[in-house]
Structure 1
Amino acid sequence: MIKPIRNENDYEAALARIDEIIDAPSGSPEADELEVLGILVSDYEDMAEPIGLPSIPDAIRFEMDRLELEQKDLIPYIGSRAKVSEVLSGKMRPTLRMMRALHKNLGIPAEVLLQDPDAVFPHDRIGLDWQKFPLREMAKQGWIEGRGKTLADHAEEIMRSFIGRAGGMSAIPEPVFRATDSPRQNARRDPYSVAAWCLRIMSLAKEAPLQNEYKPGSIDLDFLRHLVKFSSVPSGPKAAVEFLAQYGVQVIFENQLSRMYIDGAAIMTPQKKPVIGMTLRYDRLDNFWFCLFHELAHIGRHLDKGDSIFVDDLSLRLPLNDDADKKEREADEWAEEALLPSSAWREHPVSQTPSTQNVLDMASRMRIHPAIVAGRARYKSNNFRILARQVGQGQVRGLFL
């Protein structure tokens, strides 16, 4: 009885039966059986070993012959006569941009161009110019691989891989690309540099996740008031970062790229984990503590309620800047009150006479680092020349970078 061939055992049995009846006379029942078995074996072999996809050069040449095209006719799709020659010779794999153009204009299937029977082109994100990312600088920092022209030619592929390490396309920090009239946004800021840095922070967080999970609502003013006490101990910044890790809040330090102009960011990753990124562009303790607390306030007051990212240039935070964004003001309020309560500040002589002696006295009374008091005095007086020796210059980067 002839049965369908469903697996290797059925296949081997069919071959053995074919050997037995291979010489069956024409017109006999065995000859009919031999014909049917031959069809079944052939179908199974095609299913088990499908015909491979043609190579990309062969597929292009086939369409060139069909459409009667010459190599120069491919320049609009591939970019130059030299690149056309490299693609047709197999020396260069077409970029995604080239593949899309060849698919659209020559009709070559995506699965052939991508050399994957089940492949489709990734969504071509409208409004995002892949080549505007600072690829050379990212490669120099060791964030991505590649150099020279290959970076520009394969910008989309490189960035898609980079974004994938951060958590996928949903990780792209959309707000940094939106133009606003906020006084907290530096007009010289390059959104592509900022986006790349934020993605780097997310990828590092994803590569080394914390053991403890963050519980929404755990960061409030009391939490921050407890955290500020770490400022008075040796290596206070490291102790604070380690303490935050116990509560599922990751703090990552990474050098900034050119044209970023930011101190830090509060990010809710695609994995719904809060991460604080810091550049330490100002290597001072006063800047470190305020930036850390400002970003923590964003987590407690805003990320917990659905926001995804805040990127901050604290140099634009000036006492007379009353028109600042509401959420930035809210983060300022928590940071200021936690680091040094306004009532205590007003009652101490340092608020009127910002001398070194007064700074040290108040720091001792509040059990916090003098740099926090000095930083408040410089900010409130809008005079950043005073107390330069009390702000902890050069005491942070060496701990983390």
Structure 2
Amino acid sequence: MVRKNKLKFNPNYAVHPGETLLETIDAMGISQMQLAERTGKTTKAINEIIKGKAAITPQTALQLERVLNIQASFWNSLQKRYDEKIAELIEATELAKQVEWLKKLPIKSMIKNNWLQKKNDDVSQLKEVLNFFGMASVYSWEDLWGKALVDPQFAFRKSESLDIDPFSVSAWLRKGEIASQKVQCSPFKATLFKQKLKEIKSFTLESPDIFISKLKDLCSEAGVAVVFVNELPNCHINGAARWLTSEKAMIQLSLRYKTDDHLWFTFFHEAAHILLHGKKELYIDYMDNKGTGLSGLLTQQEKQANDFASEHLLPFSIYNNFIKSRNFSKDNIEKFAKENGISPGIVVGRLQFDGLIPYKTHLNGLKRKYSWDEFDWVCSEDTIEKQ
């Protein structure tokens, strides 16, 4: 037996319930004047309904039920469907004027990542994208995201070496927002979060299948949702921090460089923003491929966040004593890392960041390298999105 596909009929026109009313009274042999007399309305009022110039109100529907013996719900439903279709057609006309905006977004990458469904026409694709952003129109998107991405307190820190696409960044941030909404968190408590950070430091020694769920659980207990979202083309983002509500914060990580030193430094950097800085600001952190900080706005806050991350991962006093020896051999770094309960890759990253050893040629083998597959199979859908 051949199974036929059911096609949903979606006409590009709307049928006013007045047409159905005319067909009904004609079939019953009732004139418009007679219907007006029986319902207590004027002939003009009935004629305007039949010509589609006036709506069938709930009161009129009740009157038609008594006169024609057709339930009021039938007439109300016809009117509702008509009103909805008219709104749909008007919206489609307006959206058709906005489809050029789609060219600014990384639609192909978003579809590839299963963030969006591919649609057959531009207007449907635009609706899909607006649904993703939770926006009614492109104008609404521009009012929220467009202004946020150029406002000084949200502005990107620019880099001479990075071509940052704000549209890709907005999509990445939105995906993190969606994922974080699924993470159940207790009300935020700063003292508790500080305590959790001390415990989290030991996670640097563990593999993703161990630390991811533990990291998420510990942070959610303190009111912070941690989510991993792989970056889109030209995002160049290490991480972001912001407050979703007055009692729920979010740390979003991209795993951009896929090494333990970058991941953990970024996590503690974002944690610093949550603990030290304002709740109304969005903190987006970039790092060029040399690991040097990018210049721009909020430099004092970024310095504070860098210092916070460095101190929590490897206290300055201990680190400074270590570098005095100038012995940065593989064995010595591994011994130092073990003594301080931290991954040797983080020690290497710190030495590279401070310019004490080269980035490309020295001791990168001590860094733990991550793959998205490692994260994907141990993370639930609300925790990580795979590229």
Flag whether TM exceeds 0.5 (same fold): yes
The gaps in structure 2 that reach 5 residues or longer are 1-35, 47-56, 63-71, 377-385
SS at match of 2:328: coil
Structure 1 residue aligned with 2:133, among 163, 174, 179? 163
Contact map agreement 1:318 1:382 (CA 8 A) in 2: no
After the TM superposition, which residues 2-401 of structure 1 pair with which residues of structure 2 at under 5 Å, given as runs?
38-39=39-40, 44-46=59-61, 48=72, 49=75, 52=79, 94-98=92-96, 129-147=101-119, 150-151=121-122, 153-154=123-124, 156-164=126-134, 172=145, 174-178=147-151, 182-183=157-158, 187-206=162-181, 208-216=182-190, 218-220=192-194, 223-233=196-206, 235-269=210-244, 273-302=248-277, 305-315=278-288, 318=291, 325-349=299-323, 352-380=326-354, 381=356, 383-385=358-360, 386-394=362-370, 398-400=374-376
* 1:226-280: CA deviation from partner (whole Å, max 9, x where unpaired): 4212323453454333321222211111221111111111132268621111111
Q: Specify whether residues 377 and 396 from structure 1 end up closer, same or farther in structure 2 by C-alpha distance, changes over 3 A only.
A: farther
Q: Specify whether residues 317 and 249 from structure 1 end up closer, same or farther in structure 2 by C-alpha distance, changes over 3 A only.
A: farther
CA distance in 1, matches of 2:60, 2:250: 53
Q: Specify whether residues 39 and 217 from structure 1 end up closer, same or farther in structure 2 by C-alpha distance, changes over 3 A only.
A: farther
* 1:355-392: CA deviation from partner (whole Å, max 9, x where unpaired): 21221121122111212212111211262121111111
Contact map agreement 2:196 2:218 (CA 8 A) in 1: no
Displacement of 1:171: 7.0
Q: Specify whether residues 320 and 187 from structure 1 end up closer, same or farther in structure 2 by C-alpha distance, changes over 3 A only.
A: closer
* Aligned residue pairs, count: 304
CA distance in 2, matches of 1:254, 1:219: 22
Q: Specify whether residues 312 and 189 from structure 1 end up closer, same or farther in structure 2 by C-alpha distance, changes over 3 A only.
A: same
Contact map agreement 1:349 1:358 (CA 8 A) in 2: no
CA distance in 2, matches of 1:253, 1:344: 31
CA distance in 1, matches of 2:220, 2:118: 34
Aligned-residue Cα RMSD (Å) equals: 4.1
CA distance in 2, matches of 1:327, 1:340: 20
> Identity of counterpart residues, as a percentage?
21
CA distance in 2, matches of 1:38, 1:396: 69
Matched to 1:46, the amino acid is A
The gaps in structure 1 that reach 5 residues or longer are 1-34, 60-86, 101-127
TM-score for both structures, normalised by structure 2 = 0.65
Contact map agreement 2:157 2:294 (CA 8 A) in 1: no
Contact map agreement 2:231 2:256 (CA 8 A) in 1: yes
Q: Specify whether residues 147 and 97 from structure 1 end up closer, same or farther in structure 2 by C-alpha distance, changes over 3 A only.
A: closer
Q: Specify whether residues 194 and 373 from structure 1 end up closer, same or farther in structure 2 by C-alpha distance, changes over 3 A only.
A: same
Contact map agreement 2:185 2:248 (CA 8 A) in 1: no
CA distance in 1, matches of 2:262, 2:325: 19
* 1:78-98: CA deviation from partner (whole Å, max 9, x where unpaired): xxxxxxxxx9xx9x9834334
Displacement of 1:99: 7.7
Matched to 2:331, the amino acid is Q
Displacement of 1:130: 4.9
Per chain length, whose mean CA-contact separation is higher, i.e. which structure has more relative contact order (CA < 8 Å, sep 6+)? 2
Displacement of 1:54: 9.5
